[in-house]
Amino acid sequence: MKAADNQARDNASDDLSRLMQRGSVWRARRQWHRDQPEGDTRRGISTGVEALDKVLGGGWPRGELLELLLDRAGCGEIRLLLPLMHRCERVVWFDPPWQPHAAALAAAGLDLSRLVIVRTRHPRQRLWAMEQALKSGCCDLVLGWFAAVQGQWLRRLQLAVASGGGHGALIRPADFARQGSVAPWRLRLSAPDQSSGDETAPLSKRIEVHAFKRKGAMPARAIDIILADSRLSPPSPRPTSLPCAPSGEHRSRPVLLVSERKGVGRS
Amino acid sequence: MKGLWLCLHCPQLGLEVLSAGDDGPLALLCEDGERIALVSAGAWQAGVRPGMTISAALCLEPGLRLLTPDPEVSRRRLEGLALWCARFSARVSLEPTGENASSWGVVMEIASMLDYFGGLEGLWRRLHEELATLELEVSSATGHTPLAACLLARTGGYCGQGEAEHMARLGRLRLDRLGLSARQQSRLKGLGFTHLNDLLVLPPASLASRLGTDLRRYLQRLTGEVADPPPVFAPPPRFDRERELVHEIELAAGIVFPLRRLLAELEGFLKVRCVKALSLTLTLYHREGAQDLSVGHAGGEQAAEAWLELCRLRLESVVLDAPVLRLRLEVSEVASLQEVATDLFQAAPPRDTPEALFSRLRSRLGDGAVLQPMALEDHRPERASRLVAQPGTARRPPSEIQSANHPAWLLEHPEPLTPATLERLVWVAGPERLASGWWDQAPARRDYHVACWPDGRHGWVFRDAESQWWLHGWFG
């Protein structure tokens, strides 16, 4: 009798662990809490902002599709992604909305020989090309500017980035935030109005990052990132071999200031 | 000259190269044009046999189409087969055509290749898998000497490993299948010999004295007592091959299939030459005029599969001017093989090299699609940044030019700002004076400012010499 009980319990725990392996079970303990990030969170390249690292569970997600939804193109996406670009061997941009200013990017410390820009004539071509780049496994960061993307293509891109193992991000207008998407990470970027900003310096730039979809966690509260200088800033020298910088390091970086907005939690 | 040889014999080659997809009853004439040399399956069913006179054949099958042999076309096709064979062996020879001019084949040495293909079974299987794509009737046989392989291939095909097996099989051959001269055949018949075994058991010296040294040398070449290396097939210096299409092809995607064979020959050619192709030129011939396509691979490639993929992508974006009748494939650029250094300890090596990826993108999207930003030595931002199509040429900007406080995005053409827009801007930084280009046709005298837009973005605006305001970029 007792043996049968044990058997049943074993079976049940087997089923549960299988479900958990598939990621079908949400576990409260696994949620990345604002004050105590989990131990296994060091899995990506740090965003350079401690609060954003916590939101993203340790850094830019690798092998998982990221969606950046912009209120307006040009509201700070390049500066946000610049620390990631500095640490990627090969960066490919698909159809950026404007021409990248090569001299400014180079002055910001980006090695131009690592950056490739692909121009396509049609969104379908762009999707195909981006899928190829993600799948190839030789592009560390692939950025694609899109408007509407069919759900089936989002799934294909997600599969491609999972098999390639690099970073892949879709940059889309914020209107598409209301549409469902299979991308495990969805971040909305907005630049608040100039009137409401509490600017600490004339050139500072505040952007709001709201991770309203996260893998394995509840939606995060919107956080404010103040880029202390609206211009592109060269990277501070640091070892590139670390898988992810420990969180304490960012306190010594004066470039980026972080403040938590009070009372705007949107979980 | 013992070892292991493999012969691919094409009994119907002379007919196949001329039939052009015609399934009806066909017959190829002899050189003299009086008798039938080869017949197609359709003609065989009607009772037409090789060796018949033309009138007898036409009585049996009035609809028979007679073809005059064209040895030059057959020879070109055979050379294509020899190039294709280079995937399997480094020593390929064209089968010496005996007195029977319609006998075509290729002999290759395979003893040295057995380890590579995992034994004779592996090679044999792989060879037949790929032969199936060739649209040729091929009979293949191994042999311990080149002549033995040829004989066995002509008489139905055989696959054996050792000398004893081959000799046993050869011994059972009838003497009239050996390709001996008619005079010798009749002499042997008169002496009562019927099979090769009857000759092999005789003492060679007395055989030579009674039947002549030619026959003795023939037997020595067959058994391997005398070295008989066939002349090695020398591939042409340039790869330039054509293929007539069976049907007119109207859709570009339909060219992929006939292209497969040319690319397989290309792979053999590249393997023999120990080079890889960097770019190919594919010419599509219409009834009038032709269309040229070029396909490139930045890193160079040998494999037919990789080139087929690139050609497929290239053809997807092509609209045919007219139906295609003929294909021609040329190698326009080659490079020597270089070993790619891969990391021994890398856990998951990238499956694709960047060159392969960007070649693929270029094939599908066009040559100007893959670009690299380049910073040039100029103070005018629109001239300091350029997108170039050759990756790897980008360089860092010279240090004298300060671009650190410039935005990441540049508008292709500056947009004029209306006074109403200007009123709502909050000025953040500036001015930064730029005066440059008085030496060429585009002088610029501008004061750049950073302004904050009502929606929170930072824009890069300037006022020109005429006091007109322009938006030139966004701080992304």
pLDDT digits (tens, 9 = 90+) for B411-468: 988 999 988 888 888 888 878 888 887 788 778 888 998 888 888 888 899 998 888 9
For residue B231, being part of any structural domain is answered with no
ipTM of the complex model: 0.72
Token code pair at residue B12: 């119907």
Query: Which residues contact residue B224 at a Cβ distance below 8 angstroms, ignoring those fewer than 6 apart?
Result: B1, B2, B144, B145, B148, B163
Give me the pLDDT at residue A203, please: 58
Domain shared by B150 and B298, yes or no: no
Residue B243 to residue B284: CA distance in whole angstroms = 10
Domain shared by B65 and B206, yes or no: yes
Using the beta-carbon criterion (under 8 Å), do B410 and A99 form an inter-chain contact? yes
- For tokens 């292709």, the residue is B412
Domain shared by B145 and B19, yes or no: yes
The answer to whether the CB of B55 falls within 8 A of the CB of B41 is no
Hey, where are the domains in chain A?
61-259
For residue B54, being part of any structural domain is answered with yes
Domain shared by B244 and B219, yes or no: no
Name the nearest CA neighbour of B244 among B270, B262, B264: B262
Token code pair at residue A248: 């304490």
Residues of chain A neighbouring B396 (CB-CB closer than 8 A): 106, 111-112
- DSSP 8-state class, residue A236: P
The whole-number average pLDDT for the span A126-143 is 90
Distances (CA, A) of A255 to A49, A81, B428: 10, 14, 18
Domain boundary among B223, B254, B269: B223
Domain shared by B219 and B246, yes or no: no
What would the DSSP string read from start to end of B360-412?
Answer: HHHHHH-GGGEEEEEE-S-SSHHHHEEEESSTT---PPPTTS--TTS-SEEEE
Give me the pLDDT at residue B213, please: 85
Domain shared by B278 and B190, yes or no: no
Domain shared by B254 and B330, yes or no: yes
Domain shared by B125 and B185, yes or no: yes
Instruction: Print the domain residue range for B317.
Output: 240-346
Domain boundary among B303, B325, B346: B346
For residue B111, being part of any structural domain is answered with yes
Using the beta-carbon criterion (under 8 Å), do A104 and B403 form an inter-chain contact? yes
Residues of chain B neighbouring A202 (CB-CB closer than 8 A): 428-429
pLDDT tier at A95 (50, 70, 90 boundaries)?
very high
Q: Domain holding B307: CATH number?
A: 3.30.1490.100
Smallest Cβ–Cβ distance between A74 and the set B353, B405, B474 belongs to B474
CA distance A165 to chain B (A): 9
Domain count, chain B: 3
Residue A39 to residue B319: CA distance in whole angstroms = 57
B229 touches chain A (CB under 8 A): no
Domain shared by B338 and B381, yes or no: no
Domain shared by B180 and B272, yes or no: no
Interval B205-214: pLDDT, tens: 888 888 888 8
Domain boundary among B291, B326, B346: B346
Residues of chain B neighbouring A90 (CB-CB closer than 8 A): 354
Give me the pLDDT at residue A243, please: 39
CA distance B426 to chain A (A): 8
Is domain A61-259 annotated with CATH 2.60.40.10?
Answer: no
Helix, strand, or coil here: B466? coil
CA distance B129 to chain A (A): 29
Domain shared by B339 and B436, yes or no: no
**pLDDT > 70: percent of chain B:** 92
Domain shared by B290 and B393, yes or no: no
Average pLDDT value over all residues in chain B? 83
Give me the pLDDT at residue B391, please: 55
